[in-house]
Amino acid sequence: MPTTLADEADAYRFLERLRWPGGVPADCPHCAARDGAWLLTPVDGVGRTTSTGARSARRIWRCRGCRRQFSVLNATFLQGTRTDLLTWLAVVTDRAAGTADAIIADRSGLTPATVRHLLARLAVAERAAGLAPPAARSVAGERCPGAVEAQPVAGRVSLTVADDVAERVRALLALPGGKARAVRHGTPARRRPLRQVGPSAEYGDGPD
């Protein structure tokens, strides 16, 4: 059954189900404790406000052992990405359908440099996971069968992910996060530690 993702939070839940049994963190990516973690629920039930004031649908968990925060992206090949997950999944879907890089770049709504970076990161992860690189089946300007709808990814409201693509993503998520880091160019941008995402008073996240 293909999975239709309506929004970014849906995309997070989708990855959580692919990475963790039952969609619940099996162990903490920071301390490896298996004490469990709880989801930090924004009090408005919609999303957090990031440091830039934008609303974020990132789903953040807190470890019961070390109390540090993490998301499904921690210690995976997607760790530190600034690209939203719906866009990532659209790129993976397009690639699996054999869509030419130029077409992916065209409809991703991202800058060419960002698309090159995404595709390079994806290619490294695919090799590390032992996944065969998808065969290119389309040429520039041609609609490709099986690919997602030919609309810009940016601002998309939903994405349908086929089962075989989901299995690809599952294999990629199972990789230790360090394996894809070789693709980073120059000095990696310093990521803001997840524990600083916002004042904890904003969350109904239990005792602090």
Note whether 100 and 106 are within 8 A (CB).
Answer: no
- Report which residue type is found at 160: T
Shorter beta-carbon distance to Zn ion: residue 33 or 46: 33
The verdict on 105 binding Zn ion (CB under 5 A) reads no
Say whether residue 37 binds Zn ion (CB under 5 A): no
**Candidate residues 6, 26, 31, 139; the one interacting with Zn ion per rule CB under 5 A:** 31
48-49 and 55-56 as β-strands: parallel, antiparallel, unpaired? antiparallel
Distance between CA atoms of 5 and 97, rounded to whole angstroms? 18
- Applying the rule CB under 5 A, the residues between 43 and 82 that interact with Zn ion are 63, 65-66
CB of 137 to Zn ion, least distance (A): 43
Nearest residue (CB) to Zn ion, 24 versus 154: 24
Instruction: CB nearer to Zn ion: give 60 or 110.
Output: 60
Q: Is 122 left (phi over 0), alpha (psi -120 to 50) or beta?
A: alpha
* Residue 197 identity (one-letter amino acid): V
Q: In angstroms, give the least distance from the CB of 64 to Zn ion.
A: 8
Nearer to Zn ion, 74 or 99 (CB): 74
Q: Please tell me the distance from the alpha carbon of residue 99 to that of residue 34, in angstroms, as a whole number.
A: 40
**Site residues (CB under 5 A) for Zn ion?**
28, 30-31, 33, 63, 65-66
